[in-house]
Structure 1
Amino acid sequence: MKAPSLAKIEGVYSMVPETADSWRDAHGTAPFVRGPYEKMYQQKPWTIRQYAGFEGALETNAFFKRALSQGQTGLSVAFDLPTHLGFDSDHDLAAADVGRTGVAIDSVEDMAVLFDGIDLGNVSVSMTMNGAVLPIMACYIVAAEEQGVAPDKLSGTIQNDILKEYIARNTYIHSPDFSMEVVSDVVAYCSEHMPRFNSMSISGYHFQEAGASPELELALTMANARAYLTHFQQQGIDLEFVAKRLSFFFGLGMSFYKEVAKLRAARFLWSELLDEFGIRSESAKRLKMHCQTSGVSLTESSPLNNIVRTTIEAMAGVFGGTQSLHTNSYDEAISLPSDQASKVALETQFILQHETGIGDVVDPWGGSYMMESATQSMIEYVRTMQNNIEIEGGVLALVASGQLTAFIHRQALQTAMDEEALNKKIVGKNCYQSSSLSPQNERVIASDKTLLLQSKKLALLKLKRDDGAVKRALQALQAAARSKQNLMPFTIEAIRARVTVGECIKALTDENSRYLKPEHIEPALFCAHLDAEMVKRYQALSSQLGRPLRFLVAKVGLDGHDRGAKVIVSLLRDLGIEVDYLPIFSSLDDIIQQDGMYQYDGIGLSILSGAHIPFVTQLTQKIRTDCPIFIGGVIPASDKNALEMIGVEAVFTAKHSLNDIAMSLYDILVVAAKIKVNRFENQRIMKGC
């Protein structure tokens, strides 16, 4: 499938496209390009909704209470990776990741602690959850119920957008077909029992973080929206009601004009899409969105510059008319956000709301030659891409084939090549570099302590609960899955009986096994941007060994963010190295088994979850001592020495260019190769004797 050319921001514009006349005076009315509400922020400022979660429910609860006391107006829950993937904290595969990238939730009792002292009848809660959406949504409902708040009084959003997990983020559990049924179950349940709750937030954010341009992000988001509406229609769900309670989630990168145009175009396209489905309700057509500033635009070097980047991106969200906003912390390229950085991120929004007057004018870019042209270009790109997707069989077919993931990967590779060639300049990374030190107030996650506490809580829960009720609830859930009934009521009953999140998911995976999507990595052609002499050195090293260099790259643990790993695989292959890539969710045993078969010249681990030290510690205890180990990811400087002492040869982070990585790898591999050649020569001599 061919993608249309990207929209281009021209140097000069001299006219507004004729199509813009259709929305010129339409602020607060369809097609809503100029904003979903007539007075926009004059009437109500955007909701400040910072995404947070770490360690256990008690720690995150304290963070939430501080944020609310400081003026935050809504909560957004980040769950840890085991929770996303439906593993309880005491599961063998969960140990290294518990509480690292979000809060660990194993049961309704954790959820009750998470919201202790927070009135769920008055505080809007957004939850980023997709794979384990059934038990997590059930935990939220039961925790509120036990707090005295009925489901129809709850307000907030559950993401419940599984398609983007297969395309970009990778925290899926079930097959696409079964997952679409789960999505429908949640939507149908909320439509009937939770009229104030948004049962789906269709996300483009993760596409952009994985490498997509603003245009591709919008096109894939709208393609997924079409797929969901089609599926809901086939299920007999009231589309108009669902559309009224459905929201969108977009990323905000550094392409300022494009980001503003993207949000304006999104509202037009949603209104147009609902017209196609015969929905005329103005309320349904009024696209509601949450936006978050970019994580991948942040640099490890000169991190305080990231405050400027985040502010610019946040301004694009406000100019584009977002309803709620998360601003990233300046230290996210280094580690999990510190308290200081989180406070700066929150107060950035206060400054925008109270000191700038930025929200005093509705759609201030409206009528601009440039902005109206850019908005129209976005619309045309999405229409063309949508047509191409439908010709190829639709989103579900392209999810299964991996083509949509490949599209994003190609754009990620192009960005990497542009940065390497200085066609895209990043201050502090590939130009205007300085020796600015990283802040030394990194947040330290007590994952071992959290794991121990969660394991004890699980053991105590299982001692106290009624085993008979648990067994009956799980059997009922499995029977409902077999008979294709709505699974939400059965999951809620299971959670009331103190069934854990992991037990609910296991009951379902026993009926529909865990799914692993096929992997595809694009060739990169980085050689044109790499030091020619370096490429020759790699070729000479292979000649010295009498064979191509062999390398293993693995995503280890439960972290599904694979953009960096795939870029490195493409780089190594362009250097002439034979590379095997172990897909997401690989275990240490998988790596050891693979190395036992192929005896690699080097092993590279990609870990962005903060679990690098426990994983590397275990690996170095089991792997060959003559196999160099490299690691890449979000790794604090304070951990680098510890990793090297454990046995890691080199640590690569976002600050390293591709040439830097190629040169460092070569220096290490050439030493390892000499050892191998000498060993081979000694063995040959011994045999001759």
Structure 2
Amino acid sequence: MSNESLKAKLDAYNAEYAKQVAKHPERVGLKHKNLYTPLDLDGFDYEKDLGFPGEYPYTRGVQPTMYRGRLWTMRMYAGFSTAEESNKRYKYLIANGGTGLSVAFDLPTQIGYDSDDKMSAGEVGKVGVAIDSLYDMERLFDGIDLGKVSTSMTINAPASVLLAMYIAVAEKQGVPASALRGTIQNDILKEYAARGTYIFPVKPSMRLITDIFEYCSANVPKWNTISISGYHIREAGSTAAQEVAFTIADGIAYIEAALKAGMKIDEFAPRLSFFWNAHNNVLEEVAKFRASRRIWARILKERFHAENAKSMKLRFHTQTAGSMLTAQQPNNNIIRVALQTAAAVMGGTQSLHTNSRDEALALPTTESVTIALRTQQIVAYESGLADVVDPLGGSYYVEAMTNAIEEEVMQYIKKIDEMGGAVEAIDKGYIQKEIQDSAYAWQMAVESGERTIVGVNKFTMEEPPVTGLLKIDASVGERKKAQLAKDKENRDQAKVAEELAKLEKAAQTPAEGPDHVNLMPVILDCVRAYCTEGEICGVLRKVFGEYKPHNTL
């Protein structure tokens, strides 16, 4: 059928559609067209825009076989209270089919304070596990062979310290750093823009990141040195297109920093990874994942002239949307997570964490975590979604939405480039303002009833208080402080002072150039001497200072 004939038939259909709408008005809040046809893919070039899975521009997936050969890594995010308690949860998850670990750290650990610091009062072990020194990391992975498990660590400002601890634990197990597989989030720019667990100013933070790139490319080659995170940008309220745009803009900034430090693109780009949110709109999310791969491939090839195919592959971890969980009717969250899981799988994720039904209220119970893990397993083994590569490829709607998201993303990236890049855009408050505006628009749509949230603004009901939630004992902080005091007594204090002095001297060297000292080996020596995270970050605070947020809008 010619485009002219199709257009005529479409006009006739839309005329009939309009008559029906006059009788039965559409639901409010619908933002897409009622029907998509080949006319929405004018100029569509299969080879240029899609290609085959495992081939440039990777729209259809980064591997030729995708899940037909190997399923995604089922990586449940866990960590609470002490290292010993979290270790029990990790062993439980592995025993029940989890194929990777994902470590949640408590707030003091995320911002570089020990459990005995006055800044840590009331927060020790609350939102994740408390890690003060190598002693704790040894307890966290006791009985878990780091040569056989892949581990993701959600840590940013002190990522170098926690990675050093992980390497040191592996050494004690007899596992060489070259065999380690996993990821550190290590994405500080999104902390300034959307999350807030930063420590140091931008320039020294970028130095720490590029030092990790350089060190791992030579010593920990299987490790993903950064997980450039759109997840938290989306959690803060961005749209799907903004999530991709601001995250890829951050990725461009990291690449430019590494190139400025003297690295070559194909030395480090293959180990860059991403972290996306799986939101509620299933088909939009699938399109978002597909668009992100194509955009990244083109940027790496055309802008940075990468030659290694691995540099162009956007590999990503996905987490279901925490911000979409509701405290009301929490069992509804099981269905939400299942749909978000389906979106991530149809979108081609490399690993996935599914949130638990009770996370809008507390840290998840063992029962809730089991349901979340089983959700992935049911999708993997029973749904058929993992049986076909890119099952929605060729859908008029999905392809049109993939194109539309790409176009919007590139408009944002162009504007950010004109500002001088992501660092400048964050410094000026532009990215923060865009996220805030989108979050406000979403909330207004919920409050007006334009957007329905089941159990919140529609289909509500009287509910008894939720029982059986996981509660972190208030005594954890005191017990952890006592444990830390004993750990400090068992180390060589002279060695601690010696290594911290070396770190201070190394941190004072230039961020680049012939006198630059890579801080990773020095931090690793501190960790081996059982210096605490707070002591190491304290030295770096002394040299680098602390970031002070400001908004010039």
Task: Provide TM-score, normalisation by structure 2.
Answer: 0.91
1:18 equivalent in structure 2: 43
Distance 2:425 2:278 in 1: 26
2:538 equivalent in structure 1: 506
2:527 equivalent in structure 1: 495
Distance 1:38 1:264 in 2: 15
What amino acid sits opposite 1:294 in the alignment?
A
Gaps of 5+ in 2: 1-29, 511-516
Verify: 1:28 aligned to 2:51, yes or no.
no
Indicate if the aligned counterparts of 2:428 and 2:551 stay in contact, CA closer than 8 A.
Answer: no
Deviations 1:390-423 (A, max 9, x none): 1122111121122211111111111111111111
Shift of 1:520: 7.8
Deviations 1:576-635 (A, max 9, x none): xxxxxxxxxxxxxxxxxxxxxxxxxxxxxxxxxxxxxxxxxxxxxxxxxxxxxxxxxxxx
Distance 1:465 1:202 in 2: 36
Alignment of 1:385-404 (within 5 A): 385-404=412-431
What amino acid sits opposite 1:354 in the alignment?
Y
1:540 equivalent in structure 2: none
Indicate if the aligned counterparts of 2:49 and 2:57 stay in contact, CA closer than 8 A.
Answer: yes
Distance 2:58 2:90 in 1: 33
Deviations 1:317-375 (A, max 9, x none): 00100011111101111111112111110100111111111111111111111111000
Tell which structure's C-alpha radius of gyration is larger.
Answer: 1
Secondary structure of the 2:152 match is strand
Indicate if the aligned counterparts of 2:427 and 2:551 stay in contact, CA closer than 8 A.
Answer: no
Distance 2:42 2:151 in 1: 40
Secondary structure of the 1:291 match is strand
Shift of 1:146: 1.1
What amino acid sits opposite 1:76 in the alignment?
S
Deviations 1:438-485 (A, max 9, x none): 541100112x33212221222112222222111111111011010132
Indicate if the aligned counterparts of 1:247 and 1:288 stay in contact, CA closer than 8 A.
Answer: yes
Deviations 1:657-687 (A, max 9, x none): xxxxxxxxxxxxxxxxxxxxxxxxxxxxxxx
Query: Which segments of structure 1 move beyond 4 Å, counting only runs of 4 or more?
Result: none
Distance 1:377 1:437 in 2: 44
Indicate if the aligned counterparts of 1:261 and 1:378 stay in contact, CA closer than 8 A.
Answer: yes
Distance 1:64 1:410 in 2: 39
Identity %: 40
Q: Which of the numbers 506, 512, 518 marks the counterpart of 1:486? A: 518
RMSD: 1.4
2:264 equivalent in structure 1: 238
Q: Which of the numbers 250, 253, 278 marks the counterpart of 1:252? A: 278
Verify: 1:105 aligned to 2:131, yes or no.
yes
What amino acid sits opposite 1:441 in the alignment?
G
Shift of the 49–94 alpha-carbon distance from structure 1 to 2, 3 Å rule, reads same
2:495 equivalent in structure 1: 469
Q: Which of the numbers 363, 383, 387 marks the counterpart of 1:356? A: 383
Distance 1:430 1:30 in 2: 44
Task: Provide TM-score, normalisation by structure 1.
Answer: 0.73
1:515 equivalent in structure 2: 547
Indicate if the aligned counterparts of 1:300 and 1:438 stay in contact, CA closer than 8 A.
Answer: no
Paired residues, number: 514
Report which structure shows greater RCO (CA 8 Å, sep ≥6): 2
2:232 equivalent in structure 1: 206
Indicate if the aligned counterparts of 2:51 and 2:57 stay in contact, CA closer than 8 A.
Answer: no
2:212 equivalent in structure 1: 186
Verify: 1:51 aligned to 2:77, yes or no.
yes
Q: Which of the numbers 319, 327, 330 marks the counterpart of 1:300? A: 327
Indicate if the aligned counterparts of 1:58 and 1:113 stay in contact, CA closer than 8 A.
Answer: yes
2:317 equivalent in structure 1: 290
Q: Which of the numbers 349, 353, 366 marks the counterpart of 2:393? A: 366
Secondary structure of the 1:97 match is coil
Shift of 1:196: 1.0
Indicate if the aligned counterparts of 1:23 and 1:34 stay in contact, CA closer than 8 A.
Answer: no
Indicate if the aligned counterparts of 1:107 and 1:498 stay in contact, CA closer than 8 A.
Answer: yes
Indicate if the aligned counterparts of 2:318 and 2:353 stay in contact, CA closer than 8 A.
Answer: yes
Indicate if the aligned counterparts of 2:114 and 2:120 stay in contact, CA closer than 8 A.
Answer: yes
Secondary structure of the 2:463 match is coil
Secondary structure of the 1:96 match is coil
Distance 1:17 1:487 in 2: 52
Alignment of 1:402-481 (within 5 A): 402-446=429-473, 448-481=474-507
Indicate if the aligned counterparts of 2:286 and 2:346 stay in contact, CA closer than 8 A.
Answer: yes
Shift of 1:50: 0.6
Shift of 1:19: 3.5
Secondary structure of the 1:93 match is helix
Indicate if the aligned counterparts of 1:17 and 1:372 stay in contact, CA closer than 8 A.
Answer: no
Q: Which of the numbers 303, 306, 312 marks the counterpart of 1:279? A: 306
Q: Which of the numbers 133, 136, 145 marks the counterpart of 2:159? A: 133
Shift of 1:238: 2.8
Gaps of 5+ in 1: 1-6, 522-689
Indicate if the aligned counterparts of 2:81 and 2:476 stay in contact, CA closer than 8 A.
Answer: yes
Verify: 1:114 aligned to 2:140, yes or no.
yes
Shift of the 25–404 alpha-carbon distance from structure 1 to 2, 3 Å rule, reads closer
Alignment of 1:142-161 (within 5 A): 142-161=168-187
Deviations 1:132-185 (A, max 9, x none): 112111111111111111111111011111100000011000001110001111
